[in-house]
Structure 1
Amino acid sequence: MNPPLINLEDYRTPGSKVFTGRDRGEEVRKKSHIDDLVDANPEVVIEVPADVWSINPSFLEQLFYNIVPKFGKEGFYQRVRFHTEGLGYDIAKDVEEAIDRRLRKSNALNFY
């Protein structure tokens, strides 16, 4: 059985080449039901349209807001896979930055 697919094409503004902003990341998180999909499946695939130029870490931080603290970095990478065939930029750096930011914020909140 194929893992569930979240195609970011379904959530982008027509003609847009970037995904940016915390508000937009939160909106996509809610509309895509990514939290429920990751909870219920061993793997979820995120399809990134080939003509996207950038996905801002702030967008990703909100998209993965609940997943990263729940599963940690290693668990996140085990459960979430990116399909980026033909993508003109390397998304890995932005994903890594978003995960690290989210873990820092989660740990800071737990400290107090």
Structure 2
Amino acid sequence: MIIDLGKYKSFKSSLFTGRPQGEAARKEMNLDDLDKQDQLVVVKIPAGTSSINPSFFLGLFFPSIKYLGLKKFEEKYSFAFEDENSTVRTILRGHIEDALRNASNTLSKKNSFSVFLNRKKSNKSE
């Protein structure tokens, strides 16, 4: 199955942003049902995209990552970049990797705030 994210970006915009926008796209795509199927999914990122904000990405995919687990999510979902500029593709890949790292940290309860709290606790016990 192919999902074209171009349908979820406004005409003049070059970026995907906003958790509510990602959640709305998720609902429209019926990703909850798709996650339960054995179907592989290719997500097309349209040419002219300059940014995929983690908030949009996680609004769209965090429930899938939580349901499938990160490894199975990465096996099920792949990303195809329509932009021919290799620098742009590298940047967008980095945005997706950042969002996946954020999701992984959230699921494992490792985020900058929890690291800070753990350091503070260990400093008190010394």
Structure 1: which 5+ residue stretches go unaligned? none
Q: Tell me, what secondary structure is at the counterpart of 2:101? A: helix
Structure 2 distance, partners of 1:63, 1:75, is: 16
Which has a greater percent of helix? 2
Segment of structure 1 superposing worse, 99-108 or 27-36: 99-108
Are residues 1:103 and 2:100 paired?
no
The structure, 1 or 2, with the larger RCO (C-alpha pairs under 8 Å, 6+ apart) is 1
Contact 1:6 1:46 in 2 (8 A): yes
Structure 1 distance, partners of 2:83, 2:50, is: 11
Runs of 4 or more consecutive aligned structure 1 residues displaced over 3 Å after TM superposition: none
Distance 1:53-1:87 versus aligned 2 partners, 3 A rule? farther
Question: Shift of the alpha carbon at 1:10?
Answer: 1.2
Instruction: Name the TM-score, length of structure 1 as normaliser.
Output: 0.82
Greater Rg over alpha carbons, structure: 2
1:32 alignment counterpart: 29
Q: Tell me, what secondary structure is at the counterpart of 2:62? A: coil
Letter aligned with residue 17 of structure 2: T
Structure 2 distance, partners of 1:71, 1:107, is: 14
Structure 2 distance, partners of 1:43, 1:61, is: 19
Structure 2: which 5+ residue stretches go unaligned? 110-126
1:62 alignment counterpart: 59
1:16 alignment counterpart: 13
Aligned residues: 105
Question: Shift of the alpha carbon at 1:38?
Answer: 2.8
CA RMSD of aligned residues (A): 1.6
Question: Shift of the alpha carbon at 1:103?
Answer: 2.6
Structure 1 distance, partners of 2:84, 2:7, is: 17
Letter aligned with residue 77 of structure 2: V
